[in-house]
A and B are shown apart, each in its own frame.
Chain A
């Protein structure tokens, strides 16, 4: 079962981070699709929470150097 999780970060400062974060998220198990929207700082991930939890997503984004929080919309 995949679910869609939205993370928000206010730390994205250069669009070069977009492919970096997307690749890091896509490298996680169970992530079907990861999209980073630079202009708004919104990160949309379709993932299987059984394989990669929301915390794991936040951790992966943190690994690339940015803090993000899950958001309701």
Chain B
């Protein structure tokens, strides 16, 4: 018994549950009233039941209106309360009951569906485990995940979510990182591996030394980023909010004027009912929340409505080659020593010079050089952006880089050098020319592999309507062409300096193209900044990429680019559809009110329906297919649908 009482009490304390039961109650009273009048012809009973229904549903609305009024806020609830009370006074009991019931029922449905729209992010939030098992003095202790101290050892058993960011100290496990990267294949983790909070240990038993906890974990930072992105207002949203600011007061003014002129109280009250531009103010946010949430589920971080809008318009995509289209881990493929220098000597000199650089092409040379013994440190080192580097080693000048570096330094290649260079280039290898004291002493051939799935990703981009796909690279023509052929890109700009890339992007934009640039690394930064949309890859490990790019792919997967584009396009289309639905509804309602076709209950019904249609339309974005299906077709199908919906609204 006391159980029942407490349940009833909790239902009334919890606002959403209270509203639900009040709605059910008022709906029941309305049904009983309709039965009484049309089944048994009891008009008095009908009137009483309708008044009761209006009071049941209206009480909550009136209380909320009063509470808002006390903090000096004119709420929608106030308009509805005035309209409902007004209707009771002029004897329109049915209108009053219907308006209050529909307002409550619509609000309940809207809260539910809006919650589902936000659900994509909720999945991420839920991925963060609330508790962690920590080893203290050898004993496992259960505690809130954000209370774990840095450096403490966290125990994770098979099937559990990892509660902190950290480094595995003991044990191995297959860890599903789907929550962070959207990648369904679990990754093998062993001592020394880094693991992220929110990922799941599918098997095994891990001991993890906590390096980041609570709000500092990668998962929490991603969630914060996604939320900031969802809150960032798209240009069209700002426009609508300005419109909405004026809309409600002017409708109230209109109601007063209409009453003063026509003395028609019904017309004035109906205007109050339709005075909230609900569908309009919710049209853009709902699309953006759903679009960004859908993208986040696949490990694609779109940094805000503004970027969604601009990414949806992209027709040209420029890609960096090294590290984007390719693994970015070139291998040392061939060594050509010239002029009496041994291969070992050549490699040792080149490796010593490159040891001071962080260029990706240098790393395999350094690794290969280290195999033959330790490397000394060059006395001086100078990097020539886009060309190579020069260093002083044991008092001699060593230069390593591309042909332009040699030309700049005035070093002749000679017949032998030219022949070796041609041979490497025709093999699609990237040559690094090495000179000592102004004399070419040999060449190193590097080759890089195209990423898995690169060709499919490029083909899909064309499918979804990105007409022009361009490769921009600082690398030589031969290597660039070889990769371009492999992945199916026909426009290649090779041998570019960072500022050349920037210039090319600017030129494309000047020609009227909407350009997205995909890249990584410092030499792409100017081009990324110049593009309409910048896309960074492999952002899970790099805060810089998350901070600076408009779209960050948490995983090095080219397939995510067409997916991101498809989502952006679908979102942009969805936003436009919602705007049309909302504007048609507002216009239709006002026309209907003044022509006398729409009364209070009808106005409320259409208004609530339009809000629900807009939310439901936005929710379709959550179902934008994964990378496999061509988004162009989906977008087209979507574009034909709103016409019929709008006509109904």
Contact = CB atoms under 8 A, between A and B. Distances in A.
B68 A67 contact: no
Interface in A59-73: 62-67, 72-73
Contact of A10 (B107, B115, B215): B115
B281 A10 contact: no
B15 A37 contact: no
Contacts of B128: 72
A24 B214 CA distance: 30
Interface residues of B, number: 43
Contacts of B67: 24, 63-64
Nearest to A23: B71
A42 B60 CA distance: 24
Contact of A42 (B107, B111, B227): B227
Contacts of A26: 71
Interface in A35-67: 37-42, 62-67
A13 interface: yes
A10 B118 CA distance: 8
Contacts of B68: 20, 23-24, 64
B281 A14 contact: yes
Contacts of B281: 14-16
A12 interface: yes
Interface string B89-123: 00000000000000000010011001100100110
Nearest to B288: A39
Interface of A, secondary structure class, is loop
Nearest to A14: B278
B39 to A, nearest CB: 35
Given A10-B122, A40-B230, A16 B276 contact: yes
A72 B220 CA distance: 10
B64 interface: yes
Contacts of B215: 72-73
A29 interface: no
A17 B442 CA distance: 72
Contact of A12 (B114, B220, B231, B288): B114
B223 A73 contact: yes
Interface string B259-286: 0000000000000000010100110010
Given A10-B111, A10-B122, A73-B214, A16 B224 contact: no
A7 to B, nearest CB: 13
A37 B231 contact: yes
Interface string B204-234: 0000000000110000100110010011000
Given A12-B111, A15-B285, A16-B281, A40 B121 contact: yes
B86 to A, nearest CB: 20
Nearest to A26: B71
B76 interface: yes
B118 to A, nearest CB: 6
Given A14-B276, A24-B67, A67-B14, A38 B214 contact: no
Contacts, number: 91
Contact of B285 (A19, A38, A66): A38
Interface residues of A, number: 27
Interface string B66-89: 011011110110000000000000
Given A14-B276, A14-B278, A65 B220 contact: no
A37 B128 CA distance: 21
B289 A65 contact: no
Contacts of A62: 13, 15
Contacts of A20: 68, 71, 73, 75
A4 to B, nearest CB: 11
Contacts of A65: 15, 19, 60, 64
Contacts of A72: 128, 146, 214-215
A24 B230 CA distance: 24
B110 A14 contact: yes
Contacts of B278: 14, 16
B643 interface: no
Given A16-B281, A66-B15, A41 B223 contact: no
A5 B110 CA distance: 27
B611 interface: yes
B48 interface: no
B16 interface: yes
A1 B395 CA distance: 63
A15 B244 CA distance: 10
Contacts of B214: 72-73
Which of B15, B60, B215 has the most chain A CB atoms closer than 10 A to its own CB?
B15
Contacts of B64: 64-65
Given A14-B76, A20-B73, A40 B282 contact: no
Contacts of A37: 227, 231
Contacts of B223: 73
Contacts of B285: 15, 38-39
Interface in B376-394: none
30 contacts: A11-B16, A11-B111, A11-B115, A12-B114, A13-B111, A14-B110, A14-B281, A14-B282, A14-B611, A16-B76, A16-B278, A16-B281, A19-B73, A20-B71, A20-B73, A23-B73, A24-B71, A37-B227, A37-B231, A38-B285, A39-B118, A40-B227, A40-B230, A40-B231, A41-B118, A62-B15, A65-B64, A72-B214, A73-B214, A73-B224
Interface of A: 10-16, 19-20, 23-24, 26-27, 37-42, 62-67, 72-73
Return the 3 tightest CB-CB contacts between A and B, nearest first: A13-B110, A10-B115, A23-B71
